[in-house]
Structure 1
C-alpha cells in the first residue's frame, strides 16, 4: 500500500504506469522500454556518490563531453568498495559533528569545490559547495542484486541531497554484472552472470520506483554489448592459466572487463590475477557514453573522442549500444506541465507531462 500511495503522490510515475513504461518481467535480455528524454543541455555539473564503478563510468566522461563542445564540472565522492551503508555512515557522522574525521573521507578537489585548506571533505560540504545539476547514487556491486541492503541508507543519502543540493536531479547509477569467469559464477549454486544482472536490474528498478528517480542504464549497456558477437568474452584455449608465462596474459578479445593481469603484491612480487569486476577501456567508454546521454540528453553518436585502446569501429559500436539502451528507447522529451525544460528541480517537480509526452521528468529513461 505504501508503494501504491507513493505513485498516487507522484503523478509522473502514475503516468509511467499508464503508459506502460515499466516492464517487470524476467530480464532475459536488456530490453529497452518506451520512455521520454531528459532535456538537452550544453553544460552539466555532476557529483557522483559511489565507488570504483562510478570512477569507471566517469573515467572517459570529461573527454567524451569535451569532444562534443560541451562542458562538464565533475566531483567524485567515490570510495573503493563503498556501499550505500558506508556512505550513509560517513554522512551521519558529518551531520552529527562536522569536525569528526569519520565524516570526511572524500578527497578534496579545490578547483571544483572551492574548498581550500583541507585534503578531505564531507558529503554535506561537497553537496553544498556547488549548484549541482545531477547527483548519482549506486549500491556496492556485491549488494547490487540484494535490495534488502538498500534501506535505510538510500533514504538517508537521498534526503541529504534533496536538502543540501535542492536544484540537483538525483539519478541512479545502475551498476553491471561481473564477467562470466568471476568466482561467484564458478560455484555449484546456480548463480550466473545473467542472474546477477536480473537481480541488480530489479533492485535498481525498485529503488527508482520508491523515490521517483531516473536510472543511468550502465548495467543494461554492458549486458546488451555482451549479447553481441563483438563483445562476447571467450577464455583463451591456448593459455596455461595454472602456470602462466611470466608477464604474459591470455587473449581477452571481446572483454568489457579488465580480466587477467599481472600486478605487484605488497612485497613487490609479480602476481597473476583476475579482475572480472571492473571495466576496461571498452567498458569505461561504453558506460561513459551512457552517462553522457543521461546528463546531456544528446545522442552519443556525435562523440568524436576515441580512447587509445579502442579502434574507431569498436568505439562506433559501443556508442551504438549505449544509445540503444539510453536515449534510443525514448520517444519524447520530458516536459513538465509548466512547460519548462525538465528538470528545473527534478527532485520535487513531478508534475504530469504536457500533451504528447510519454511520462514526467521523474520517469525519463525509466527502465
Structure 2
C-alpha cells in the first residue's frame, strides 16, 4: 500500500505565485496586446457549470482566455484515467477517444496550456480513497504532455440542503447532510492537493460560505405542497445555488446537484479571482436571473474565499507520495 509522508515543498506555492505574476504581467486592463491565458479542464458537468460565465467575466476584466475541455458528464478521476489507458494501449480504440472522438493526449497536445485542472466526481468527492491512485496518474500524465503547465485541483461543491442523496465518504457509507458532504469532500480535496503539491480552486468552500449563512441561504418553502404539486407553480427557491425544482412536462423534476445561474455565476467568480489574482467585485456582468444584491454577495464571497485559500496554502505542509 502506498504511504504518504509530509515534507516541506515550498516550491509548489512559489511556482504558482510566479504563474500569477506572469498572468498579471501578460495581461493589461484593456486586454490589448495581452497574451491569452490557456485553461484546460479535465472534468465533468461541474467544471462546465463553474466555467459557464467565466468567458464573460474574463472579457469584461480585460483578460483574454482560451478554454479547452476534456469533460464527460458524471466522470470520475478513475474513468478519465481508464480512457487514457485505453488510448495508450491502442490509439485507434474508440474507448480511448471519449471526448468528441479525441483522446486526452490529442486534446492536451493542441498547443501549450498554462493551467490544467482536475477534479473528482461529486458523488465520490467525500472519499479520499476514490482519488487514489488516479489523481496522481492524471497529474503525471499532464506533466509529461505539458511540463510547463500549472496543474490545479478544482474543489466541487456539496449538494443542496434538501437533497435526497449526498456524496460517498467511505466504501459503503455516504454523508448524512450537506454540511457533512462539504466537510468530507473538502478534507479529501485538500489531502490530495497536499499529496501532489497542488493549489485548489475553492468553489466548494465558496458555495458553503453562502449556503450556510442564514440571510443568504436557501430555505425549503414551507408553504408549498410538495405532496401534490400543481403545474406550473414552483416552490420559492430564493438564493438557491442549485437547479432545484423545475417542471419537466407534467412531472416536478428535482436536481439538487448541479448549479443554477447563481451557482454558475459564483463558480465563475471564484475561477476569475483564482486565475487572475484579482477581485471580481468591480465587474458588472451578472446573469439576468441573479439580482443585484445577491450578485454583490456572491462577488464578495468569491474573492474572500480565494484569498483565504491562498493564505492557507502558504501555511500548510505539502504531502508527497513515496
| TM range, smaller chain | 0.7 to 0.9
Q: CA deviation at 1:79?
A: 0.7
Q: CA deviation at 1:359?
A: 6.7
Unmatched segments (≥5 aa) in structure 2: 28-35, 167-173
Q: Which residue of 2 aligns with 1:241?
A: 226
SS of match in other structure, 2:284: coil
Aligned to 1:307: 287
Structure 1 contact 293–326 (Cα < 8 Å) conserved:
yes
Match of 2:141, SS state, is helix
The residue number in structure 2 matching 1:321 is 301
Q: 1:173-218: CA deviations, max 9, x gaps?
A: 0001100111126xxx871211111100000011001100000000
Contact 2:84 2:104 in 1 (8 A): yes
Quote the offset at 1:248 in angstroms. Answer: 2.1
Which residue of 1 is the match for residue 260 of structure 2?
Answer: 280
Q: Where do 1:6-21 residues align within 5 Å?
A: 7-8=7-8, 10-12=9-11
Cα–Cα, structure 1 residues 11 and 329, in superposed 2: closer, same or farther, change >3 Å?
closer
Q: Is 1:83 matched up with 2:76? A: yes
Q: Classify 1:147/1:331 alpha carbon distance in 2 versus 1 (closer, same or farther; 3 Å).
A: closer
Taking the aligned partners of 1:38 and 1:70, their CA distance within structure 2 comes to: 13
**Which one of the candidate residues 112, 117, 127 is aligned to 1:136?**
117
RMSD of aligned C-alpha atoms?
A: 2.7
The 8 Å contact of residues 68 and 304 in structure 1, kept in 2 or not, is answered as: no
**CA contact under 8 A between 1:65 and 1:303: conserved in structure 2?**
no
CA shift at 1:289, angstroms?
Answer: 0.8
**Residues 75, 37 of structure 1: CA spacing in aligned structure 2 closer, same or farther, 3 A cutoff?**
closer
Higher relative contact order (CA 8 A, sep 6+): 1
Q: Would the alpha carbon gap of residues 37 and 224 (structure 1) be closer, same or farther in structure 2, given more than 3 Å must change?
A: farther
Aligned to 1:181: 162
- SS of 1:285's partner is helix
Deviation at 1:315, TM superposition (A): 1.3
Aligned to 1:151: 132
Q: Which residue of 1 aligns with 2:180?
A: 195
Structure 1 residue aligned with 2:5: 4
Alignment match, 1:32:
none
Counterpart residue number, 1:171: 152
Match of 2:64 among 71, 81, 86: 71
In the TM superposition, what is the alpha-carbon distance from 1:231 to its structure 2 partner? 2.5
Moved >6 Å (runs of 4+): none
Aligned residues: 298
Match of 2:99?
A: 106
Looking at structure 1, the residues matched to 115 and 121 of structure 2 have their Cα atoms a distance apart, in angstroms, of: 20
The alpha-carbon deviation at position 328 of structure 1 amounts to 5.4
Q: 1:36 to 1:233 in 2, by over 3 A?
A: farther
Post-superposition Cα deviations, 1:234-261, rounded to whole Å, max 9, x if no partner, equal 1112211111112221110121100011
Aligned pair partner of 2:275 in 291, 295, 303: 295
Residue 38 of structure 1 and its aligned partner are, at CA, apart by 3.7
Match of 1:45 in 2: 38
Equivalent position SS for 1:89:
helix
1:3 and 1:11, CA in 2 relative to 1: closer, same or farther beyond 3 A? farther
Contact 2:128 2:188 in 1 (8 A): yes
2:211 and 2:127 map into 1 onto residues whose CA distance is 23
CA distance in 2, matches of 1:37, 1:218: 20
What is the TM-score when the length of structure 2 is the normalising length? 0.85
Residues 45, 73 of structure 2: 8 Å contact kept: yes
- Structure 1 unaligned regions, length at least 5: 16-34, 108-119, 265-269, 335-357
